Amino acid sequence: MQLSQRRIKAAIFGGSGYGGSELLRILLFHPHVDVVLVTANEHADKRVADVHRNLLGLTDLSFVKQPETIDGVLDDVDCVFFALPHGQAMSLVPNIPPQIKVIDLSGDFRLRDQSLFESHYKQPHTAMETQAGFVYGLTETNREAVRHARLIANPGCFATATLLGLAPLVANGLLAGRVIVDAKTGSSGSGAKAAANTHHPQRMTSFYAYKPFTHQHVPEIEQELAHVGDWTNELIFMTHSLPVARGIFASIYVELKRELDQSNLHQLFAEYYHDSFFVRLVNGSPDINWVKTTNFCDLGFAVRGKQAVVFSAIDNLVKGAAGQAVQNMNLMFGLDEKTGLILAGTNP
């Protein structure tokens, strides 16, 4: 594609949730993208700005009902984003015409092992052949593959925060013993629909653990760690709920094969991420406050002898979902991965 000639025409399937909301916030202002189609069954025919009221005055788009069949609907489209609930993309993607690129934000195509998918997502997988063509879209570890991919499985939010904190250590073969990830997420991770666990009167003063040992992001973390290096460690992964809207913070406890000090660690990460604009290494601890609404992943460290802790902070909806999706799209279309993604956070 020659950018001087034409712009990327993008479609979003599932535009009314928080993933769709953030895709719209980014793509509507992307210098090389036109959003030509946004679906949303429940809100079909409503104006986008009546649902995402932050976009009032910024777009005239309306939601359309999700088409029964793909035929003819995507004739002019270059790239489709799927931001649907788990289990829906797998029946649609196989019918997408081959000249169209696909980025799926759900868990449908992340796992190469069908049985792992089915045990974690509690449903049969009906498109494993299509899955074989997918690239796991953690941009920082798979940049070259992403550039040449037609199909991207965008990582889960917890997986993104965890993998970015562990990849340099695994790639350098530094880990001994079990790895413990104590991960915490804001309430937007539960989606845009009201539910008991996001009921404001209770959630605003809550902190609790959920899905111990069994979160569905565990298998994609292990799969990708094995891709990045020689991963044979035991992973203990624990998810908790934070009383904020946005943000994931992972405290990652590892045992190193040899003693490293903080500057060694910093150096190691700096080298691994030397061409990764969206990974920032901070002194001390990162804070979800400084990454909220941005595509950054902030990483910090603490070390005592062979015991090290990596702290990883992202915005679950941006680097953990829509932002990373656009970062991947940029690469797939030959653009600088930062294009349209310099979303400065705010203080406060």
Question: With contacts defined by CB under 8 A, how many residues of the chain interact with a second copy?
Answer: 82
Candidate list 118, 304, 334, 336; residue touching a second copy; CB under 8 A: 304
Q: Which helix (H) or strand (E) holds 299?
A: strand 297-304
Candidate list 67, 113, 171, 253; residue touching a second copy; CB under 8 A: 253
Site residues for a second copy, window 216-245 (CB under 8 A)? 234, 236, 238, 240, 242-245
Candidate list 311, 333, 335, 337; residue touching a second copy; CB under 8 A: 311
**Best CA proximity match to 165, nearest among 292, 311, 318, 323:** 311
How far, rounded to the nearest angstrom, does the alpha carbon of residue 21 sit from its chain's CA centroid?
14
Site residues for a second copy, window 186-205 (CB under 8 A)? 186-188, 192-196, 198-205
Q: Is 79 in the site for a second copy (CB under 8 A)?
A: no
Candidate list 14, 229, 247, 320; residue touching a second copy; CB under 8 A: 247
> Of the residues 51, 157, 218, 329, which is catalytic?
157
Q: Measured from the CB of residue 237, what is the shortest distance to a second copy in angstroms?
A: 10
Residue 298 and residue 107 in contact, taking contact as beta carbons nearer than 8 Å? no
Active site residue 157: yes
Residue 331 and residue 337 in contact, taking contact as beta carbons nearer than 8 Å? yes
Give the sheet arrangement for strand 79-82, strand by strand: 33-38, 8-13, 79-82, 101-104, 151-153, 134-136
Q: Measured from the CB of residue 270, what is the shortest distance to a second copy in angstroms?
A: 13
Q: Which stretch binds a second copy (CB under 8 A): 36-44, 116-124, 151-159, 281-289?
A: 281-289
Candidate list 31, 72, 98, 348; residue touching a second copy; CB under 8 A: 348
Contacts of residue 241, defined as CB under 8 A and 6 or more positions apart, other chains included, come to 184, 185, 187, 197, 203, 206, 207, 208, 209, 210
Site residues for a second copy, window 4-63 (CB under 8 A)? 18, 21-22, 25, 28-29, 52-58
CA atoms within 13 A on the CB side of 302: 9
Residue among 116 and 135 whose Cβ is closer to a second copy? 116
Q: Measured from the CB of residue 4, what is the shortest distance to a second copy in angstroms?
A: 20
* b/e map 133-158, b = 16+ CB within 10 Å: ebbbbbbbbbeebbbebebbbbbbbb
Residue 7 and residue 76 in contact, taking contact as beta carbons nearer than 8 Å? no
Q: Measured from the CB of residue 150, what is the shortest distance to a second copy in angstroms?
A: 29
CA distance 303 to 262: 6
Q: What are the residue numbers of the active site?
A: 157
